[in-house]
Amino acid sequence: MKWVITVAQRLNKVTKAHERNFERKFVSDKMRRRDIILRAVAQRLKLEGGIEMSKEIEKLQQMIDESSRIVFFGGAGVSTESGIPDFRSVDGLYNQKYDYPPETILSHTFYMKKPEEFFRFYHDKMIALGAKPNAAHKAIAKLEEKGKLTAVVTQNIDGLHQAAGSKKVLELHGSVLRNYCEKCRKFYDVETIVNTSGVPVCTCGGRIKPDVVLYEEGLDQKILQESVRVISEADMLIIGGTSLAVYPAAGLIDYYQGSRLVLINKTPTQRDTKADLVITGSIGEVFSQIKV
């Protein structure tokens, strides 16, 4: 009987030892699988230009902290994160189908010859009053408020920088929020255009034209000269949301003489090799991590 009890005790000890080994192996395997998944997710975020960009963000933060005359130069990519389509993106206006290509409709010649069709397109695709400033707009406005940023130079025509609180905004291509009579120069706000069907007409009988730069029209020389001045005097130039493919606006980068040139875009640009810091990703995600 004593022999039976001893055997039973030994078997019990062996069983418990096996159970402990099994538990350790199970926990170890579970932790190993978790680590593999976490590494895969981190790598995926990094490859997709997500928020896993700590080194780049840290360098950007340091550059901003060390600067006092920052200029932000922005393109359509800043506005797409507010729901406004980029003319040249895969899902933008230039890849949609109309009776005429958008670059034809948005030309001075087309505006003069077919104003009804121009304003039909303009009403439908160029005015986005429901759009709101995103994280990038807000952070840039805050940098100006703190005395770190001297100006915003933008290719966008939506007025979102001003809506976020920016004061010094140089609009290279004008703004949909401003409209003028071609005859008497009377000012009209954007609501006038929105609430008018067909071609908008002034009280004097003249046609009301949006204050936007169409193809075949030159940039406002005063705005262009001021843009050159602020960029040439900047100690840091942040370029965001633009492929730098539209001239003469894209040529403004050549006037920067400092050593803190930053490019933030979802896709590579032709000027990446000249930048001191390149971040491939969402400009809103990048600026949401910056402490102002």
Angle at 66 between CA 64 and CA 68, to 5 degrees: 80
Q: What is the DSSP string of 60-124?
A: HHHHHHT-SSEEEEE-HHHHHTTTPPPTTSTTSGGGS--SS-HHHHTBHHHHHH-HHHHHHHIII
CA distances from 199 to 101, 124, 186 (A): 20, 13, 16
Reply yes or no on whether 137 is catalytic.
no
Residue that the structure tokens 């490859």 belong to: 47
**Which among 18, 108, 123, 173 is annotated as catalytic?**
173
Looking at the annotation, which residues are catalytic? 173
